[in-house]
Amino acid sequence: MAENEINTLVVRKPCFGLPTGCTQCLSAYLYLKFAQLPFQLDFHLNYPDSDQIPYFEVGDYVAYNNEKGGVTECLKRDFGVVDLDIGISSLPDWISTKAMLTTWLADALAYELWVGFEGYSSSPAYTIYYSDLPWPLGKVLFWRKARWIKQKHGITNENAELKKEEIYRRASSAYGALSTWLGEQSYLFENRPSSLDATFLAHGLVVLQALPESSVLQPKLLEHGNLVRYVQQCKTELIDASPTPTYAWHTAGSSSTSSRSTSSSKTKTKTKSKPKREKTEEEKTFKRRSKYFVAAQLVAVVVFITIMTSFDDAEVGLDE
Amino acid sequence: MTNTLNHNAAQNDDVVHPEPEDDEQEDEEEEDDDDDDVLPNLRTPQSPASKLQQQRFKVETLARRLSSEMVPIRVHDVLVNGNTKTKDWVIEAELKGIETATTMQDLMRACEAAIARLQALEIFDSCKVRLEPGPKELPNTANVVVDVVEANNTVSGECGVYTKPSTSSWSLECALKYKNLLGYGDIWDTSLAYGGSQATELSLGVYAPRIKRLLTPIVARIMLVSQDWQEFSSYKEQLLGASIGLISTKHHDLVYTLGWRTLTDPSQTSSRSIRRQLGHSLLSSLKYTFKMDRRNSSIRPTRGYAFLSTTHLGGLSPDHRSLRFLRQMTSFSAVFPWGQGFMNKTSPLPERFYLGGDFSPVCTLGGPTTLWGFKTRGLGPTEPRRQSRNRADDNNSDSPGWDFIGGDLAVTAFADLSFDLPIKWLREHGIHGHVFAGSGNAAKLTQNEYKHFSPRKFLESFRTSVGCGIVIPTRLFRLEGNYFHILRKDEHDRGKTGFRFSFSAPS
């Protein structure tokens, strides 16, 4: 079908003026925009606790986010998408910036969304992840995630305040470091877009657009004018320039064949390695045969008992 | 569909047998009463022999009267003895017909029926009904006294093998029952079931024959069900929920289910439409079943007809985000000349129709989802599973596989002609032969597929199979050894021509 052959990035719900409210999904979206790969968006709204989302699909091919370094790494390897990190990903500053973005800043935002607000429905996490689930399901999943975050940071009733301060302090330091690093440049590394730009911009957009005024994290980001400018510029160029995605299915305007033709030819392959698969098949056959054997034995016994019982009944009948 | 291999805790079955003696006792007392009206009180002492003779004479007189005429009687009072835990009204509710009996014959029949109903509650070790003479000033009256002995062992275990036509599989179920906890005749049970498609179910249920004025029994259940469809459709299903039986009679059944359903794909190989359905959903649904079975036998029907209609409506909650669907399944089978069923569309993945399975459509009335020769979920709309773009090795030409995604409209039809075999021994045991033909197809209608649907294409793509075999009916199930020949199947259907054993239980 024609629809299936279109590059589709499946993400979480669009909200707060963003194509998707989830930072991981937005990061993948921005990377593909930087890489100038034409694609359209689709939405998967009832699976907030899945680590597979965002995923990219075209035809029968899917790249999940929980495989091989993330959806963008999969696309670079399998789909021939431009690797924007060439030449910079081995730099020491790259590694430390990446660590800062994926731990301190990501943790701070997650803490704010799931633990930082009083009620379930007052948190932006409700709108982004749970608003399309019925109330009891959403509430239980939200509570489960909040408990997981508290366990991850070792937060208890006694040390809650201390932990909170520590998380936000780290976020502040991270913003300061990034602001100093960015300076007046347009991008973080060598004045060209990279995957870390996509990661930070996604974080920045959610902090600035989705968090309410009562947020603790938002003012910390607003202190750094160049970071705010950087985020706003991205929003103008990449997001406001594209039409706002809606729930309705929309057909892609541009053709998707240009990038496909550069990819390696389609080979039908197994997902598991060959020797492992053969062993599993042998085991399966053996198990199936043993099940048939046991079932046949059981049936024979039951039939025997039933027929013998009916023999006895007939004999008793004769006696009477 | 409840054929079981039962290992019940001891139940007293001999309550009915003392009945005739009790009756005689009652009759004698009645006769005393009657005789008192006729003869003056002779208080002279009698020898045992003459006493016996007099009693025999009374019994013979009564027996003659009962066999020749309607003996009028009126029930004055109904008394219940022996229940320490069970509420009086629970027992009294099973004694219908006794108070309104106007003749001795009616009264005895009503008493037998009452004893059977009380025993069916499974909370008593024994139930006896005695008739005693009514007050002297009211002639031709009797008091009915019900003596019950509550079960000592309130805990019992049960193990059984059941059929599940909806998934065309068997399941082994072990249950622990606790009887009469609250004195309402309630039976609480915890059960663990394991079945085909690695389906496991852990549930806690309660059954109460009645609550005060409500006419139907209360059946409620909390369950955790998990099913593995990874092999056929690349997903696993989990349901945590509760169901309440609202109406349950011989022909009508209404059940409300509220549950949290989760679909996952740990293998990450699912096809597109299944991938999009993964996640959480709230199931709030009412299922109404109307059943009429006028076949003379469910193992080997030779006469009659059966009709089953199931309407399943989902989305009954104020929250518009719960799972909404309407599923209608109608199954009509007549033993002669043919049976046909048709179903309508629905869209949530577990509510679609999956054809294929090992059960014989002849005796299974759970919906004609089986088609001879095809495996479970073995035919219908398919979608290619995920393809990897990883460079592995060039020699590998295996396809990634296909998911059976189910249909929104399914039609099956079957015809089965059975005949007796020439050998007398086989005939005596009901072993017979049969030739059969079956046909079926399922189509997807949702997501604008109905625009591409054409009845002619649908008819042209019907899968067909024929075959012959031997049927060995036993008391519990129907064993068949059949040879199938698939006349028409699609490229990805899982059906094979060949010989196969199958056994199915009647429902």
Q: Is B302 exposed, middle or buried (0-12, 13-18, 19+ CB in 10 A)?
A: exposed
pLDDT tier, A276 (very low <50, low <70, confident <90, very high otherwise):
low
Report whether B183 contacts B90 (CB < 8 A). Answer: yes
Mean pLDDT taken over chain A: 83
Residue A56 pLDDT > 90, yes or no? yes
Pairwise CB contact (< 8 Å): A134 & B393? no
Considering only residues B469 and B496, tell me which one the structure prediction assigns the higher pLDDT.
Answer: B469
Angstrom distance (rounded) from CA A310 to CA B80: 41
Residue B496 pLDDT > 60, yes or no? yes
pLDDT digits (tens, 9 = 90+) for B349-381: 777 777 777 667 666 665 557 777 777 777 788
Report whether B213 contacts B223 (CB < 8 A). Answer: no
**Main-chain phi, psi angles of B49, to 5 degrees:** -65, -45
Nearest C-alpha in A relative to B267 = A271
Pairing relationship of beta strands A8-11 and A40-43 according to DSSP bridges: parallel
Name the range with the highest mean pLDDT among A125-129, A297-301, B425-429, B456-460.
Answer: A125-129
pLDDT tier, A169 (very low <50, low <70, confident <90, very high otherwise):
very high
pLDDT digits (tens, 9 = 90+) for B324-353: 777 777 776 544 332 233 333 336 777 777
The verdict on B398 touching A (C-beta cutoff 8 Å) is yes
Considering only residues A172 and B495, tell me which one the structure prediction assigns the higher pLDDT.
Answer: A172
Chain B neighbors of A306, CB-CB under 8 A: 474-476
Q: Is B56 exposed, middle or buried (0-12, 13-18, 19+ CB in 10 A)?
A: exposed
Give a three-class secondary structure readout of B453-470.
Answer: CCHHHHHHCCEEEEEEEE
The verdict on B50 touching A (C-beta cutoff 8 Å) is no
Pairwise CB contact (< 8 Å): B392 & A267? yes
Pairwise CB contact (< 8 Å): A269 & B475? no
Q: Rounded to whole angstroms, what are the CA distances from A75 to A52, A78, A257?
A: 14, 5, 15
Other CB atoms within 10 Å distance of the CB of residue B61: 14
Taking Cα atoms as reference points, which of B251, B329, B326 lies closest to residue B285? B326
Residue B482 pLDDT > 80, yes or no? yes
204-233 of B, contacting A, C-beta below 8 A = none
Nearest C-alpha in A relative to B272 = A60
Chain A neighbors of B275, CB-CB under 8 A: 55, 57, 62
Name the minimum distance, in Å, from the CA of B89 to any CA of chain A.
Answer: 39
pLDDT of residue A310: 67
Please report the DSSP string for B224-292 in residue order. Answer: EEEEE-HHHHS-EEEEEEEEEEEEE-SSEEEEEEEEEEEEE-TT----HHHHHH-EEEEEEEEEEEEEE
Taking Cα atoms as reference points, which of B153, B186, B154, B159 lies closest to residue B173? B159
Q: Which two tokens stand for residue A156?
A: 């208890």
pLDDT of residue A99: 93
Chain B neighbors of A132, CB-CB under 8 A: 321
pLDDT tier, A23 (very low <50, low <70, confident <90, very high otherwise):
very high
Name the minimum distance, in Å, from the CA of B362 to any CA of chain A.
Answer: 20
Helix (H) or strand (E) holding A310: helix A274-319
The verdict on B198 touching A (C-beta cutoff 8 Å) is no
Report whether A179 contacts A200 (CB < 8 A). Answer: no
- Signed CA dihedral, A74, A78, A81, A85: sign only: positive
Name the range with the highest mean pLDDT among B32-36, B243-247, B375-379.
Answer: B243-247
Comparing CB atoms, the residue among B282, B385, B476 nearest residue A302 is: B476
Pairwise CB contact (< 8 Å): A133 & B321? yes
What is this model's ipTM?
A: 0.74
Comparing CB atoms, the residue among B282, B321, B386 nearest residue A60 is: B386
Pairwise CB contact (< 8 Å): B280 & A133? yes
CA angle A231, A235, A237 (to 5 degrees): 115
Q: What are the residue ranges of helices labelled H in A36-88?
A: 71-74
Chain A neighbors of B280, CB-CB under 8 A: 46-48, 133, 137, 141
Residues near A70 by beta carbon (within 8 Å), at least 6 away in sequence: A28
The verdict on B501 touching A (C-beta cutoff 8 Å) is yes
pLDDT digits (tens, 9 = 90+) for B150-208: 887 778 888 888 776 555 667 788 889 888 888 788 888 899 988 876 788 899 998 88
Q: Which two tokens stand for residue A97?
A: 């910036």
Q: Rounded to whole angstroms, what are the CA distances from B249 to A49, A50, B286, B327?
A: 42, 43, 16, 22
Name the minimum distance, in Å, from the CA of B1 to any CA of chain A.
Answer: 18
Residue A263 pLDDT > 50, yes or no? no
Please state the separation of Cα B126 from the chain's center in Å. Answer: 26
Pairwise CB contact (< 8 Å): B387 & A4? no
pTM above 0.90, yes or no: no
pLDDT tier, A299 (very low <50, low <70, confident <90, very high otherwise):
confident
What is the percentage of chain B residues whose pLDDT exceeds 90? 8
Mean pLDDT taken over chain B: 76
Chain B neighbors of A44, CB-CB under 8 A: 276, 278-279
Comparing CB atoms, the residue among A78, A137, A269 nearest residue B282 is: A137
Other CB atoms within 10 Å distance of the CB of residue B437: 17
The verdict on B286 touching A (C-beta cutoff 8 Å) is no
Angstrom distance (rounded) from CA B243 to CA B257: 4
178-197 of B, contacting A, C-beta below 8 A = none
Residues near B355 by beta carbon (within 8 Å), at least 6 away in sequence: B369, B370, B371, B374, B377, B378, B379, B380, B407, B410, B412, B440, B441, B442
Residue B120 pLDDT > 60, yes or no? yes
Pairing relationship of beta strands B124-133 and B141-150 according to DSSP bridges: antiparallel
Taking Cα atoms as reference points, which of A55, A50, A5 lies closest to residue A25? A55
